[in-house]
Structure 1
Amino acid sequence: MTKTWTSSLCALAFLLPSLVLAEVELSLYGGAQNAPHSDVFFSGDSVIPDGKVFIGWEGKSFEAPPYYGIRATVWNTPTFGYGVDFTHNKIYPQEGELPPTIERLEFTDGLNTLTVNAYKRWDGALGEITPYVGGGVGVSVPHVEVISGSSTTLGYQLTGPAATWIAGAKYPINDEWSVFGEYKGTYTMNTGELDTGGTVETNVITNAINVGVSFSF
């Protein structure tokens, strides 16, 4: 028992310095986000016929609810960090893209993604400007909205895996606050359940130009 406690205390003593010295960065961002066309598949539903529809999407980033993201990053070294990132993406079908049998098909209360990311940054590479890149994987949790006749599906669902990739640059305001701009892409694989028994499936890529603010401590 004493040996176990001694080993545990030694491990804690080894880890504490890295935890204390780590830089924690909290970020909030918004911007302009959109998505290219994607195939949408319906299958196994008692109301909506099986089939495929090719849909063009719009982001409408600044309309309610707006596009935004929240990020927490731990920098264990001056160049490497990791953390979690929640993004409230959203997509609407372009005018005239829906077939007559579908009254609504959209992910406007969020084609939400939650990912675990890793980051690489280059302090001092461009003077006070710090470039960075990142990427990660996680899950897609959209608000699935499909209405067709007596079939009405409205709700959040865990629909599949997600991936993200990021490239940007940060500029300090002072020791704690900074601003940043970046490109952020996501890829989501979504299989949603319809209330009348079938599924709606689509894989979506989003592209966003973000601006944001970060607080470090």
Structure 2
Amino acid sequence: MRHLILSTAAGAALLAALDSPAAAEIELSLYTGWQTLPHSRLSGELPNNAGSYDELVGWDGKSFQMPPYYGARATWWRSETLGFGVEYTHTKAYAPDDVKSTLGFSRLEFSDGHNVLTANVMRRWPDRWGDITPYVGGGLGIAFPHVDAKHNTGSRTYGFQVTGPAMRLTAGASYPISERFSVFGEYQFTYSSNEGEFEDGGTFKTDIKTNALNIGLSLNF
């Protein structure tokens, strides 16, 4: 599901670009980096009528453990300064051991991605710092995490869920290393409001925020 949504969105952006004026530029970017999460409240109903809960969770991003944190972005630059596109980010969130123990979970994580897909607006300033091009961007979209939870009542939840709206903010700078390729570094913030379900009657509600320092490679054509 994750790959289907990403492929469909990116494909739509590229088809639109092919119909655009010849002066338009397409930029495809891949990145990874260091992703962290601040605390947020997690509340809902435990599986099998085991009670309600409301806990402050210090999520762990585990950026460099498999599956790694990464992202992909397609931007259609309509002019030298203004662009539109789509972006997918595979962020991660793991509940710490003390929270899992309190709530009766042996697993409680969005580990095959707390996936975020957005439609973006981008702004850049070429020639502002010589060959270095600063840029900013923002987007709105959806979160569709892979929920991985195992509760001591026997409930097992494992699969993708569309859990709510999401947004992102990005600020960075790129540097060309050839006619078509450039490298970039950026800070990125994502926010999502999530409501989902555990098997056997459980529910969860939480706002997930991420902070990331990204490095990546872009292809321009």
Aligned length, in residue pairs: 203
| Cα displacement string for residues 29-53 of structure 1 (whole angstroms, at most 9, x for unaligned residues) | 0000010111101227434421201
Match of 1:46 among 48, 56, 64: 48
Partner of 2:156: 152
Partner of 2:109: 106
Residues 94 and 16 (structure 1 numbering): CA distance in 2 closer, same or farther, change over 3 Å? Answer: closer
Q: Report the AA paired with residue 141 of structure 1.
A: F
Deviation at 1:58, TM superposition (A): 1.1
8 Å CA contact 1:42–1:48 kept in 2: the answer is: no
Give the secondary-structure state (helix, strand or coil) at the position aligned to 2:22. Answer: helix
Q: Report the AA paired with residue 89 of structure 1.
A: T
8 Å CA contact 1:47–1:151 kept in 2: the answer is: no
**1:37-76 aligned within 5 A:** 37-43=39-45, 45-76=47-78
| Cα displacement string for residues 93-143 of structure 1 (whole angstroms, at most 9, x for unaligned residues) | 234232152222111110000000000000010110000000010000100
Match of 1:192 among 185, 196, 200: 196
Q: Report the AA paired with residue 115 of structure 2.
A: N
**1:174-213 aligned within 5 A:** 174-213=178-217
TM-score, normalised to structure 1, is 0.89
Give the secondary-structure state (helix, strand or coil) at the position aligned to 2:99. Answer: coil
Partner of 2:94: 92
Give the secondary-structure state (helix, strand or coil) at the position aligned to 2:48. Answer: coil
Residues 197 and 134 (structure 1 numbering): CA distance in 2 closer, same or farther, change over 3 Å? Answer: same
Higher-Rg structure is 1
Deviates more, 1:118-127 or 1:37-46: 37-46
Partner of 2:137: 134
Q: Percent identity of the aligned residues?
A: 48
Residues 45 and 16 (structure 1 numbering): CA distance in 2 closer, same or farther, change over 3 Å? Answer: closer
For 2:21 and 2:87, the matched residues in 1 are separated by: 20
For 1:37 and 1:166, the matched residues in 2 are separated by: 21
RMSD value over aligned CA atoms?
A: 1.7
Deviation at 1:178, TM superposition (A): 0.1
| Cα displacement string for residues 142-194 of structure 1 (whole angstroms, at most 9, x for unaligned residues) | 00122112111111010000000000000001110000000001001111111
4+ residue runs of structure 1 moved beyond 4 angstroms? Answer: 15-18
8 Å CA contact 1:48–1:148 kept in 2: the answer is: no
Deviation at 1:198, TM superposition (A): 2.8
Partner of 1:118: 121
> Where do 5+ consecutive residues of structure 2 fail to align?
1-16
